[in-house]
Amino acid sequence: MLKVISFNKTKGGAGASTSAHLLANGFGLLDVDCWLFSTDQTREGESLVPPNASEGRPYAWLDGRDPKVLGPAIRRLASRPGVVIVDGAANRADIDSLIVPRADLVIVPTMHSEGDFRQLKADLSYLTNPAKIKRVGDLAIQRSAWPSGVTEDAATAELQAYIPADLHGALLPPIPFRSAARRLDREAVPIDYRLSKLCQEQARAVIAFARWNLLALKSPSSAQPAKVDPKPKAKAKTSALVQADGRDENGYMNIPLPM
């Protein structure tokens, strides 16, 4: 059973890419085949998705800037169990109109500032207006680079003042600021136990919020327990379509690519 998650915002700098990569890592570490498509047109060429981008990652990272490529790629994956994550870029109405209507879950990221909250309010107004965009999936809010400790509750209370009351229960667990996490959209980094735990907690929180069945997301060959503390040494995944019928030398499932 394939599920599609779309990160949406109309302005950059909200932590969407970091959140998307964290979530993709989390699903991969739970042995769920995961494909992350990046759509940011402001980063050209290989600077968006580096060569061998999937090397050392438990998920496939792909270039999704062209809607004529992205749409067919997701359709080819539709019959497979797993999760597609689309890291929606700012001001990509063409991507929004393609992905949001078919997404099972739309996640709107925000950081902690008055400007971020005002932008979040505008984004939610857009995504909850059927006259502007058709959305059938659930809607959630991701707090990114969020204050922790004694200031966390106060920051969340400030956020809730900007959003409708019926969305107060749509807050996913906050992602605290972590330098390693912020590098995940630029390079593969060794995922230590703490970061691995955070990634998996985010994936499990999404599964619980959306009321998905974890086992239904897994391919039959990935029924073994997920690794908790990986030390990536993986070779690059090939761009050819391969069968997810085994694991690489690090215990990651071979993820079939739709290209």
Domains in the chain, start-ordered, CATH in brackets? 2-222 (3.40.50.300)
Q: What is the mean pLDDT of the chain?
A: 82
Per residue in 13-69, pLDDT (tens digit) is 678 888 999 999 999 999 999 999 998 877 665 556 766 777 888 999 998 989 999
Cα–Cα dist 22/66, whole Å: 23
Q: Is the pLDDT of residue 256 over 80?
A: no
Tokens linked to 73: 């790629």
38: Cβ contacts below 8 Å, ≥ 6 apart: 17, 48, 49, 61, 62, 63, 64, 65, 87, 89, 185
SS3 25: helix
Cβ proximity of 143 and 15 under 8 Å: no
Residue 105 and residue 121 in contact, taking contact as beta carbons nearer than 8 Å: no
Q: From 76, 68, 127, select the one nearest 103 (Cα to Cα).
A: 127
Q: How many CA atoms lie within 13 A of 3 on its CB side?
A: 26
> How many other C-beta atoms can be found within 10 angstroms of the C-beta atom of residue 217?
22
Backbone angles phi, psi at 153, to 5 degrees: -65, -40
The angle that helices 16-29 and 193-210 make with each other, rounded to 10 degrees, is 90
219-232 per-residue burial string, b: 16 or more CB within 10 A, e: under 16: beebeeebbeebee
Question: What is the distance, to the nearest Å, from the Cα of residue 12 to the centroid of all Cα atoms in its chain?
Answer: 15
pTM: predicted TM-score of the whole model, two decimal places = 0.84
Q: What does the pLDDT look like over 118-153, one tens digit per residue?
A: 999 999 999 999 999 999 899 999 999 898 877 889
Q: What is the pLDDT of residue 220?
A: 80
| 70-100 residue pLDDT tens | 999 999 999 999 999 999 877 778 888 899 9
CB 84 within 8 A of CB 1: no
Q: Report the alpha-carbon distance of residue 164 to residue 167 in Å, rounded.
A: 6
Sign (positive or negative) of CA dihedral 224, 1, 245, 247: negative
Rounded Cα distance, 143 and 192, in Å? 22
**Least confidently predicted of 1-10, 142-151, 216-225:** 216-225
Q: Could you give the CA distance from residue 46 to residue 67 in angstroms, rounded to a whole number?
A: 18
